[in-house]
Structure 1
Amino acid sequence: MGFYYLIFLIILTNFVQCGVIPSRVILVDKIGKNFLFRTNSPVQGDSYQMSELQEAMIEKITQAGYQPPQDPKIHSYSLVWFYDSIKQNYTENKYFKNHTEYQFSQYPIFGSIINPNSLPSFLAKFLAKYYPIWNHDNLNVLTKELRNSLQQQEERPKIIFFHCIAGEDRTGQVFGGYVMRYMNWTYQNALDFDNHVEERKIHNASKYGLNWYCYYLNNQGKGGDCTYEPEY
């Protein structure tokens, strides 16, 4: 059943691209003149809704009480892997090839099929010690790159954003990793936030991926209780 559901999901996401959803455009962090956002994919059909996305981000910046940046540099991070949505990747890559004034990076996120909380505690903690070695997503790399870019102050301000397709699952995993590592959120805080971006929980693969990173961050005194399971 799970295999056929995955195939159906891959086929579906190759045809259904809904464009910018303002409720999923969320300001994550700000340092100096620079802003970091999470969002859903700006792809709608054959078009890339950059102007609509920027409008939504400027609105969120204003609502947060900040002065909107003038003529910001844009850096997009796609968390989508190629076969996950061929159309998504084709449209996005084509857009950025034609708009070299923007920066584009691709960092595919997969999540995990193994729930660390289903393992004996000692085994989960042991594996978490070596997380950067075996875990494909290795949120250490992407969260550090996002943070370093946000901290780097240049003459022009920057808007950095990351997205998957829905802006909930893999986006929620990366968001959770970032706020646990750099903003002192607990795993519970991050997961509860992710689960309330829309009226559904994030996919288990993304939840497990975030959970593994929590166990890893525990070794640095961060992340809080990684055994948390929401009741709702």
Structure 2
Amino acid sequence: MSRLMVFLLALSTSLLSTLSLSAYAERDEGDSPFISTELNNLPYEREWVNTLRRESSTQFNPERLQLVHCDEVSGNCLFRSSLPQKGNDFAYGELRQAMQSAYRARMGASLPARFELVDISLLNWFTDAKELQLEKQYFRMNPEKGRFKHHAIYGALSSPNAYPETMKNWLEVLPSMGEISALEDDLGYLISTVNDKPQMVVVHCRAGHDRTGEVVAAFQMRYLGMSHREAFAKANATKGHPGKPLPINPLSRNGLMWYAYYLRDVMGISTVGDIE
């Protein structure tokens, strides 16, 4: 097989897998989630589904909530969290209490008396349909509690380092490979924009670890001057089982690497540094 044929085959496989995952990020809530027979017939490896299912917890864990960053000018803050639900209820009170504790520990003061909660869910209709529906319904019925934004995150099936240098350099400029680029644009805008009252932005997946770790690490590289090595290490340091750090899964690791290459080589953010 010629080099050209190998290149085209690898390219088409990569694009198919990445675009296939991203295509369902904005499924309408009226759509029914995929059932198991549909999952078995997906035209790519099912390993990513198994990996996403590892985040099985549906109980809010306040120990997973962390204050990531507060903007000195706008007063807006970014938090990371596990799924803010308990049973079949959105854990609004527990979430606010955990935010208060994290803010006081970091800032030495109470949360602003008036703020807007922005709940950014990374859940998807493949594995999280019930929880995602509950979350969207809560804010539809209680708009005074805050606002809801949905951006499903899947990571990437393949590592950038699995490709020849010339192919990687071409693929990394594609928006679909970074996947989280639009979300990071949105996060940067939310955190930096001055409003009548500060915005407290909470980003979460299920366990508050893999997908959330990827998104937060990407934010830290893009907006806080953190290197890929440091951001990746922080993502891996989040506690999983009691007392034990749990590395982010391969999908999230790969997605973060693609975005790191995009930031460094396309956007010219040199602080990203070496990408391993």
Among 115, 118, 141, which residue is 2:162 paired with? 118
Does the CA-based 8 Å contact 2:122-2:153 persist in structure 1?
A: yes
Task: Please state if 1:213 is matched with 2:259.
Answer: yes
Task: Please state if 1:204 is matched with 2:250.
Answer: yes
The one-letter code of the counterpart of 1:25 is L
The 5-angstrom pairing of residues 6-21 of structure 1 reads 6=49, 10=53, 13=56, 16-19=57-60, 21=61
The 5-angstrom pairing of residues 1-232 of structure 1 reads 3=46, 6=49, 10=53, 13=56, 16-19=57-60, 21-31=61-71, 32-67=74-109, 68-101=111-144, 102-128=146-172, 130-132=173-175, 134-135=176-177, 138-198=179-239, 199-219=245-265, 220-222=268-270, 223-226=272-275, 228=276
Report the secondary structure of 1:82's partner residue: coil
For the residues of structure 2 that align with 1:142 and 1:100, how far apart are their CA atoms?
22
For the residues of structure 1 that align with 2:51 and 2:253, how far apart are their CA atoms?
21
1:113 deviation in Å? 0.5
Structure 1: which 5+ runs fail to align?
none
What CA RMSD, in Å, does the superposition of the two structures yield over aligned residues?
2.1
1:55 deviation in Å? 0.9
Structure 2: which 5+ runs fail to align?
1-44, 240-244
For the residues of structure 1 that align with 2:198 and 2:226, how far apart are their CA atoms?
26
The one-letter code of the counterpart of 1:121 is E
Larger radius of gyration: 2
Report the secondary structure of 2:201's partner residue: strand
Does the CA-based 8 Å contact 2:55-2:207 persist in structure 1?
A: no
The one-letter code of the counterpart of 1:64 is R
For the residues of structure 2 that align with 1:10 and 1:120, how far apart are their CA atoms?
31
The one-letter code of the counterpart of 1:82 is W
1:86-111, Cα deviation, whole Å (9 max, x unpaired): 22112212211111121101001110
Does the CA-based 8 Å contact 1:77-1:161 persist in structure 2?
A: yes
Size of the aligned set, in residue pairs, is 220
For the residues of structure 2 that align with 1:37 and 1:69, how far apart are their CA atoms?
15
Does the CA-based 8 Å contact 1:10-1:83 persist in structure 2?
A: no
For the residues of structure 1 that align with 2:76 and 2:264, how far apart are their CA atoms?
29
C-alpha distance 4-174 of structure 1, shift in aligned 2 (>3 A): closer
Q: Which portions of structure 1, spanning 4 or more consecutive aligned residues, are displaced by more than 6 angstroms?
A: none
The one-letter code of the counterpart of 1:24 is R
Does the CA-based 8 Å contact 1:28-1:38 persist in structure 2?
A: yes
The one-letter code of the counterpart of 1:122 is T
1:77 deviation in Å? 0.6
1:71 deviation in Å? 2.1
Under a length normalisation based on structure 2, what TM-score does the superposition of the two structures give?
Answer: 0.74
The one-letter code of the counterpart of 1:162 is V
For the residues of structure 1 that align with 2:168 and 2:85, how far apart are their CA atoms?
38
173-182 or 57-66: bigger deviation: 57-66
Identical residues among aligned pairs (%) = 27
1:39 deviation in Å? 0.8
